[in-house]
Amino acid sequence: MAFSAAEQAAMRRALELAATPGVPLGPNPRVGCVLLDEHGATIATGYHRGAGTPHAEADALTNAGDRARGATAVVTLEPCNHHGRTGPCAEALVEAGVRRVVFAEPDPNPEASGGAATLRAAGVDVEAGLFAAESGLLNRFWAFGLAHGRPFVTWKFATTLDGRSAAADGTSRWVSSPAARHDTHRLRALCDVMLVGTNTIAVDDPLLTVRDEHDLPLAHQPLRVVMGERDLDPGRRVFNDDAASLHLRTRDPKFALVELFDLGRRHVFLEGGPTLAAAFLRAGLVDEIVAYVAPMLLGAGRSAVADLGITTIADAFRPRVTDITVLEGDAPNVRLTLAPGEDR
């Protein structure tokens, strides 16, 4: 496959458009599109802004008008081939007179795939595979939802060297460093659900919002979800107007994820305490682990995770380390990113 320098530059721009801040993460993929003229100059751009809004190709075609005839469309995902809330993008590209389509990766959604075949049948030159890995990374949580029928779960926790998340008297501020807490907010912003248990709300009263380095809330806020059957004080900060909140009155992780998936949520950031973390781990419903390890020892206090039912070293839960990063500062923390093993 041969892609021109202009097409490569256009795909980089399309990926940037797809990742525009503030676009809902929700049930739809993030897609960007750039239209090029015969000389490789940009005619128009477009991107998808969430469920019910025009797809990236339709947005770009609207911005281009008649200039789209004879153009090359560079798209981060195979143009869709189905009638949903909007019409098929493959047909729209054909009707607009686009002569060539370059896309990054095939659409994994069986209800929407087939756009490439429709385009080729209409005589459009089609090439696939340009920056496919980058496009796949952009939509990995959406694709995970298609494959598994539930949201992707990232479990985040902070711990001391001896595995304590709080001291014996219950104090936990601050186990992690300022750099680690800032990094946590960066990761929170990549999710569409913040999930904790009722005990965390009752004891710690967290806001569960995404905030910047000045502790100011960002425009995009995940849904704050509290899981558990226990009644809670409506005056707890998680129920304020800073972001939407939901109380799921269940102790079943699988049920909770089904409920969230049905609400269009695709990436859960699990920040609950040791009991909730253990419940998700025992159910095999943790897909990524982010641990911030602080250079301190407590010797006693609350463990980072509760009993997992493991009684012998041979049965230990052994996630695979995918990244190790030192977060510099007065008390450097180490961020470990891990993936559960295939045999979980």
Burial 48-65 (b: 16+ CB within 10 A, else e): bbeeebbbbbbbbbeebe
Residue with the two structure tokens 């380390």: 321
| CA 124 – CA 117 distance, rounded (Å) | 10
Structure tokens at 248: 């799921």
Active-site entry in 7, 57, 78, 288: 57
Q: Measured on CA atoms in the order 319, 321, 327, 331, is the torsion positive or negative?
A: positive
CB 270 within 8 A of CB 153: yes
| CA 94 – CA 20 distance, rounded (Å) | 27
Q: What SS3 class is residue 242?
A: coil
Structure tokens at 106: 């095939």
CA 37 to chain centre: 34
| CA 274 – CA 117 distance, rounded (Å) | 50
Neighbours of 339 (CB within 10 A): 15
| CA 269 – CA 157 distance, rounded (Å) | 10
User: Is 57 marked active-site?
Assistant: yes
Catalytic residue positions?
A: 57
